[in-house]
Structure 1
Amino acid sequence: MASILQYRKIATLEAVESFSPSIVELQPYGETLDNHEVLLVDAKSNELALNPRSWRLYQRILYTVLVTLVGAIVSWAGSITSAAAKAASEEFGVSETVESLATGLYFIGFGLGSLVAGPFSETFGRNITYTVTISLFICSVTGSALAPNIKTQLVFRFLAGFFGNTPLTCAGGSLADLWSPEERGTVVPLYAVGVFDGSVLAPIVGGWIAQGASSGVMSWRWVEWITIILSAFFLLLIVIFLPETYAPVLVQWKTHHIRVRTRDRRHRAPIEVTKEPLLKRLERAMHRPFALLIRELIIFTIALYLILVYVVFFTFLNGFPFIFGETHQWGPGLTGTAFLSILIGQHLPLFLIPVTRKWATMYTAKREASGAQEVDPSENRLWMAMVGAVALPISLFWLGWTAYPNISPWPGLAGGVLFGFACVAIYTSFYMYVIGVYAAYAASGLASTTVLRYVVAGAMVPPSIPMYAQLGNQWTLTLFGTLSIVMGTLPFVFFRYGLALRNRSPFAKQTATT
């Protein structure tokens, strides 16, 4: 696959000889031309370089793998420091609750950064957004690794989260650029599993680093150095192999080259034909996530449900030492290894993909046979969320009420497997639903859900320590389990009334086509 500069050249040269501009009477951006005549350049469906869905399969797979790996490493960075909280708190002379702010502030920064990343990717393109933000992410993690005190560490952890959110916020738009709606039914779950794997592998590795730090074998700061090494490697791969996929930017590149080749400055890309200055367009794009969050009931309620899922998951970073560590007297390494149960469960939804597709086909055929209106394809993406909504409260009650010293840890680990399954099933299903429903606004729609769930879940990380300590494992997880029963009704409601909600939305697709 071509590099950034090579691809930019290909994307323009390949199409320059066969464009058919349409003449429009519009004021061109930044210039005044005779008669205000603009030759509007647009992409043709047969232009391979300008249509990422027509790329070779191996190119699209490589792109998806790279985006998944980067998403996994920024998720890893959020979780891994929790394992070393005790060693870090001792060095900085603070309590573990205060040190847990390093994890909480990362996720809060993660959520706030999503308000910028999504709109920037829709204004400047995916590639430059990935490259710049991941570079700043690495610099911030380096600052945290070298922090001489708790204040410096917390500042840089927040900045790392702020810049590190891009692969999760923009990936929805990138995958929509590359894959058709039918293909995304397979690709998005694989992406989601890869990202969740990063979050779960981190406390496993971090637990053994923490155990090594407690015995004086190594420094706890290796939780940051490992992140830096992996991030730098993935950034290099992005620079070399990751091309641009955002269609308006590709057309803009093509138009620029046409102007150079023809020496005719009337040629303009659609995003250039506007009277608004660049800063005004950017301001409007950054406003969109807030508008979606406030005005879209679908986005708002999905955000609430995912808040619950993420609050439970992130509090497990501090909760597993109570559920398994104190209950069964396990050390940091073995307690971190307990996250393997969640890791195993996260991969199980992949086996559910063909099953849910069969259910969707059977359901549609049944409705057609009865003469009823066909269920909209967008709502068919919710089958997996409905299964996960049932599994989530079961897993939480299971984990909580098997956490006793006189009960083997294996039942609790089995509950962790079910929890991992529920998390990925719910997240993946809603992720595909937002992409399918909001299409061109997918990045902003995902940013809307991201900001709330990460800010709230991040804020819950420090209080989770006294919560588990005072309420106990059983009642803490009973509380979460009860809330998950209430919120678990949402995918069923959307499946039944989703089309009606979309028909009243100015942003969502309002037809039965995807």
Structure 2
Amino acid sequence: MESKSKDSATAGVSGLPLSGKEHVFQEKPISLAESKRELQTDDGYTLTKLSQDEIVVDFSDQSAVNPPNWTARKKLYNAIVVFFVVINSGISTALPSNAVPFIMQEFDQSGNALKNLPTALFLVGYIMGSMVFSTMSETIGRKPVLLGTFTVFVLATLACAFTPNWGFFLAFRMICGLAGAAPQTVVGGMYADMFFDGRTRGRAMVTYMSAASFGPILGPIISGCSVPYGWRWAFRIDLILTGTTWLALLFTSETFGPALLKQQASKLRKKGGSNRYFSRAELRSDSTFSTTQLIVRPITMLIFEPIILSTTVYISIAYSLVFFYFQAYPIIFEGIFGFDVKSASLTYIPIGIGACSSGLVTLCYDLYYENSKKLGKPWTSSPELHRLPLSCISGPCVTVSIFWLAWTANSNIHWIVPVASGLVFGFGYQIVFTSLLTYVTDAYKTYSASALAASVVVRSIAGAFLPFTATPLYDSLGASWATSVLGFVSLACIPIPFALLHYGAEIRKNSPFCQKLVADEQRARVQQV
């Protein structure tokens, strides 16, 4: 546990810690074990003198300020609050979907293409924001990025509720998307920061992803149920939710270890009037902040990391299908079955229930995996077999559910039959999300925010533009064949997790990012000798 805790923030270094509040150094190198026996800090940090001008600040063993060593209560508070931040971001994505006809009517707008713009521009903002905020969080820390962007998100939501015209409304929606992108990329990294153990991190992320999937589903339900009282009430309700979450976010803590060490080094520089104190990240040439790095790292990982590319393709298809459904469901249930707006919005509930139920299945599999690992089963030595088998099952579930919806969307069939397909769809697409994203987080660890950003960029592009095809597709092919087109697309993605099961280990061996993480872990183990 010692080596894991230290490695989660920075590579372990041997040297002399502080004793009490005094800075004590020794030129002669001593082992880490000797330093732990003789001098233990009382503030959670150690100092190592590399040269006359460089003193490295690091976490002491079992340091209470190191996020993996936080108390369960502190971890739980931070995990729950950032979970609700993600929920709020998800709600806002499709919040206007059922209110758009009323918004367009008030602002004298018309045209099928325009009704997709509020959601599309939100996702365009996602694209821009995710490329910047992910790497920024790996440079200046998670909390400054998350708190700053969520503050803008709350203000933009307020602006949407009181917007005077269509143009301003679209501009504020893009700002919401830009700021709302941060939780989607940063929160995964925060969970990786706090829960270093693979089992705990996996279970925490599965729980949060399964529940967070209800966010995009709640958006259309809120707008569908509130439009009888005026479309602005959809954004007023969302404003209440975001404002409450923002207050709770103020009391969260920084989770990124290197950022905490930078802060401590800065405090020591100010306190001692000396510029000799540095964190290890500040001494590394690749840790400096630059605009180029913000954009280049996610793109580089997307292009040159086969794991990122393949998982992103599958996740993007599943993600865009959800937003396509936001356009297809009104066509099917209002047009074919004669539902009103409020009733049609409730048909999304089975999708959310199916998505939430996926978490239970994932946790059951995780327990089976852990028990098999304790028994020494050979297959448990493969990380791919820890995360990917469920996605091999969930892929066919997505495809079956789409064809189910396609060929039961008929007025001669009771409406409950196509509605029930949402249970299978929600279950399938959510497990695709959780299994593949957790696999990526495990593989890339401290680079997970950039890895997730690459996924967010592509899936936001797909989610923004695929819904534009809904109305023309349904007008041309009819409900059954138009929906079946999506089924064939999802069918083509089914082999992806099977390929990763077979080739994933070899791909990670050749990945420069994964190999850098391995080198850091080996260096930390050497320092324990």
One-letter amino acid of the counterpart of residue 118, structure 1: S
- Do the aligned partners of 1:69 and 1:194 also contact (CA within 8 Å) in 2? no
Correspondence 1:223 to 2:234: yes
C-alpha deviation, 1:379, in angstroms: 4.1
Task: Name which of 63, 82, 102 aligns with 1:47.
Answer: 63
Distance 1:465 1:363, change over 3 A: farther
Which of 253, 258, 273 is residue 263 of structure 2 equivalent to? 253
Preserved contact between residue 310 and residue 453 of structure 1 (Cα < 8 Å): yes
Instruction: Please name the residue that 1:23 is paired with.
Output: 49
- SS across alignment from 2:230: coil
- Structure 2: distance between partners of 1:125 and 1:367: 39
Conservation of the 8 A alpha-carbon contact between 1:101 and 1:461: no
Displacement after TM superposition at 1:87 (Å):
0.8
Q: Report how far residue 138 of structure 1 moved.
A: 1.8
Q: Which residue of 1 aligns with 2:448?
A: 442
8 Å CA contact 1:394, 1:481 repeated in 2: yes
State the superposition RMSD in angstroms: 2.6
Distance in 2, Cα, partners of 1:201 & 1:466: 26
Task: Find the counterpart in structure 2 of residue 236 from structure 1.
Answer: 247
Shift in CA distance, 19/157, structure 1 to aligned 2, threshold 3 Å: closer
- 1:162 and 2:173 are equivalent in the alignment: no
2:400 paired residue number: 394
What is the SS of the residue equivalent to 1:328?
A: coil
Task: Give the counterpart letter for 2:467 in structure 1.
Answer: V
Shift of residue 358 of structure 1? 5.3
Distance 1:195 1:351, change over 3 A: closer
Q: Residues 19 and 223 of structure 1: is their aligned pair in 2 closer, same or farther, counting only changes over 3 Å?
A: closer
Contact 2:44 2:64 in 1 (8 A): no
How much has 1:16 moved relative to structure 2? 6.7
Residue 190 (structure 2) pairs with residue 174 (structure 1): yes
8 Å contact 1:83–1:332 — kept in the other structure? yes
Partner secondary structure for residue 82 of structure 1: coil
Distance 1:277 1:203 in 2: 42
For residue 43 of structure 1, what is the amino acid of its counterpart?
F
Q: How far off its partner does 1:17 sit?
A: 5.3
Query: Structure 1 residue 507: deviation in Å?
Result: 1.0
SS of residue in 2 equivalent to 1:100: helix
Letter in 1 for 2:67: P
Call closer, same or farther: CA 1:285–1:142 in 2, change over 3 Å. Answer: same
Unaligned runs of 5+ in 1: 1-11, 26-34, 213-217
Which of 112, 121, 126 is equivalent to 1:105? 121
Q: Residue 67 in 1 paired to residue 103 in 2?
A: no
Cα distance between partner residues in 2 of 1:115 and 1:338: 34
CA 1:416–1:368: 2 relative to 1, 3 Å: closer
From the superposition, tell whether residues 359 and 46 of structure 1 become closer, same or farther in structure 2 (CA, over 3 Å). Answer: closer
282-291 or 97-106, which deviates more: 282-291
Q: Is the counterpart of residue 81 in structure 1 residue 91 in structure 2?
A: no
Output the CA distance in 2 between the equivalents of 1:400 and 1:58. Answer: 47
| 1:321 Cα deviation after fit | 0.6
Contact 2:45–2:63 under 8 Å retained in 1: no
Aligned residue for 2:412, secondary structure, equals coil
Counterpart of 1:125? 141
Q: Specify the SS of the correspondent of 2:49.
A: strand
Tell me how far apart the structure 1 counterparts of residues 140 and 157 of structure 2 sit (CA, whole Å). 25
* Corresponding residue number in structure 2 for 1:194: 211
The aligned runs of 1:100-499 (5 Å cut-off) are: 100-179=116-195, 180-210=197-227, 212=228, 218-239=229-250, 241-273=251-283, 279-280=289-290, 282-357=291-366, 360=369, 375-499=381-505
Instruction: Give the CA deviation at 1:450.
Output: 0.6
Q: AA paired with 2:498?
A: F
Once residues 88 and 276 of structure 1 are traced to their aligned partners in structure 2, the CA distance between those partners, rounded to angstroms, is: 48
Contact 1:345 1:421 in 2 (8 A): yes
**Does structure 2 conserve the Cα–Cα contact (< 8 Å) formed by 1:89 and 1:96?**
no
State the shift of 1:46 in Å. Answer: 1.7
Q: Distance in 1 between matches of 2:249 and 2:371?
A: 41
Q: TM-score, normalised by structure 1?
A: 0.88
Percent of pairs with identical residues: 26
Is the Cα–Cα contact under 8 Å of residues 44 and 59 in structure 2 kept in the other structure?
no
1:41 partner SS: strand
Q: Tell me the equivalent position of 1:29.
A: none
CA contact (8 A) 1:113 1:162 kept: yes
**How far 1:291 sits from its partner (Å)?**
0.8
| Pairing 1:30-41 to 2, within 5 Å after superposition | 37-41=53-57
Question: Distance between the aligned counterparts of 1:59 and 1:365, measured in 2?
Answer: 29
What CA distance in whole angstroms lies between the structure 1 residues aligned with 2:199 and 2:133? 26
Distance in 2 of aligned mates of 1:387 and 1:365: 25
- Aligned counterpart, 2:15: none
CA deviation after TM superposition for structure 1 residue 361, in Å: 5.6
CA distance in 2, matches of 1:276, 1:441: 13
Residues 469, 44 of structure 1: alpha-carbon distance in 2 compared, 3 angstrom cutoff? farther
How far did 1:293 drift? 0.8
Rate the CA distance shift 1:261–1:460 in 2: closer, same or farther, 3 A. Answer: same
Q: Which whole-Å CA distance do the structure 1 matches of 2:286 and 2:518 have between them? A: 31
Whether the 8 Å contact between 1:85 and 1:96 is mirrored in structure 2 is no
Q: Which amino acid aligns with 2:71?
A: R
Q: Which residue matches 1:90?
A: 105
Shift of 1:378: 4.4
CA contact (8 A) 1:386 1:491 kept: yes
User: What SS class does the counterpart of residue 383 from structure 2 fall into?
Assistant: coil
Contact kept, 8 Å, 2:139 with 2:288, in 1: the verdict is: no
Q: 1:331 to 1:46 in 2, by over 3 A?
A: same
1:108-134 Cα deviation digits (max 9, x unpaired): 211221001101111111111111101
| Paired residue secondary structure (2:209) | helix
Alpha-carbon separation, structure 2, partners of 1:66 and 1:227: 16
Name the CA distance, whole Å, in 1 between partners of 2:224 and 2:236. 15
Residues in 1 aligned to 2:338 and 2:284: alpha-carbon distance in whole angstroms: 65
2:24 alignment counterpart:
none
Tell whether the 8 Å contact from 2:46 to 2:59 is kept in structure 1 after alignment.
no
Cα deviation for residue 286 of structure 1 reads 3.6
Give the Cα separation in 2 of the matches to 1:461 and 1:156: 20
State the one-letter code of the partner of 1:78.
T
How much has 1:285 moved relative to structure 2? Answer: 4.2
Distance change >3 Å, CA 276–CA 317, structure 1 → 2? closer
